[in-house]
Structure 1
């Protein structure tokens, strides 16, 4: 039976020294987003960006995403603004909010954490798009629009366009995604490794894939396949360094 003590140790490793050796994670893109049940939202965002790039008027210039942590909201917003846009968040500077009106696309992340003046700026951006055609506005929330703590006038604007509720990947979807990544990399991996990671590691796919990459590096150094015993060995070895 696995030792429950492995969980906090491995989590600390994953958040710190083990993964820091890999450098920063890859930039969020539509291609490296694992949609699961969220493919409709992904396609809507891809269409908006395609229309914007081609100079066409988007069918849906406003898109709102809501869902729990790990459902992919921030990934999708970052992927969208990477093409040509401005990301706003509760910690963004006032200068960033002031400059957003000049961007062709604005993505507002964690809108339900915006303070009053930030919500006012976003409200104005929606109105500007309605009147002038730019900027197109994306937004994310942790709860449905009707339940989020927001100014009522902004709540109305968030419902102007398409609204999608996002769901985190299920265990089956996560295992399938990891299996696909493992196959693409040509890795030798024991079938019980992925369930082990899902029970003890961050559930978002970015963290999970980085863990696989880190473990692959460790396994290659020792010329051994990735197995649960190897993971436990790594945990025990690294726990002495914490």
Structure 2
């Protein structure tokens, strides 16, 4: 008999203690921590989806008391006042028609001796930019790369995610997930969440067999809560 369960989704934690470090992200963290002693007013943080860019950018934004800008803000009347504080633009490669506004913001940031952090999946040459001056300016900006999570980081993340949910799991569960999961912190977060809900529903502890059954179901079911991309 299954127990009645509730949706116990936990929002991502973006605190300093929640950011785990390995060789895959140590260089990026060191550069972010150098602020305000950056080599330029503009810094670009590049890395694949699920590598932890948003978490690292959030740490910087908290330390710098930065404004988090969106395409709507860049197109709005408050653009000239944005650089009075440091500015973060997450997913800068997805700004679409706001190229002119981004170029103007970069100029304002330099004029006001402020700071701008841009995150993206790829370097600026791959953003499909149509404004040559913007691309030229972005090419001059320092860029730091965060790599996909390595085994050490994925292991630490899985252990911490289980601990955050007060789940005690055997090492074989973590070892099995390491072999099966994409190198993505988002993938780790999703699988731990679903395992937690399954364990509550069945009133059982999380086991390797449960994890294997879950991942096999994910491969066979496009509507799986794991989004079929683990």
Partner in structure 1 of residue 148 of structure 2: 168
How high is the TM-score relative to the length of structure 2?
Answer: 0.70
**Structure 1 residue 226 corresponds to structure 2 residue 206:** yes
Given the alignment, which residue of 7, 25, 30 partners 2:11? Answer: 25
User: TM-score under structure 1 normalisation?
Assistant: 0.67
CA separation in 2, counterparts of 1:139 and 1:224? 44
In the alignment, is residue 155 of structure 1 matched against residue 135 of structure 2?
Answer: yes
Answer yes or no: is 1:143 the counterpart of 2:122. yes
> Which of 82, 90, 93 is the equivalent residue of 1:109?
90
Distance 1:96 1:188, change over 3 A: farther
2:124 counterpart SS class: coil
Within a 5 Å distance, the mapping from 1:22-171 to structure 2 comes to 22-36=8-22, 37-48=24-35, 51=36, 59-83=39-63, 84-90=65-71, 94-95=75-76, 98=79, 101-116=82-97, 118-134=98-114, 136-150=115-129, 151-171=131-151
Query: Aligned equivalents of 1:157 and 1:196: distance in 2?
Result: 45
* Gap change, CA 1:69 and 1:22, over 3 Å in 2: same
Counting matched residue pairs gives 214
Name stretches of at least 5 consecutive residues in structure 2 with no aligned partner: 225-230
SS at match of 2:106: helix
Task: Structure 1 unaligned segments of length 5 or more: list them.
Answer: 1-17, 52-56
How far apart in 1 are the matches of 2:78 and 2:26?
30
CA RMSD of the aligned region, Å? 3.8
Pick closer, same or farther for the CA change 1:153–1:200 going to 2, 3 Å.
same
Q: Deviations over 1:176-197 (max 9, x none)?
A: 4424655788753233323443
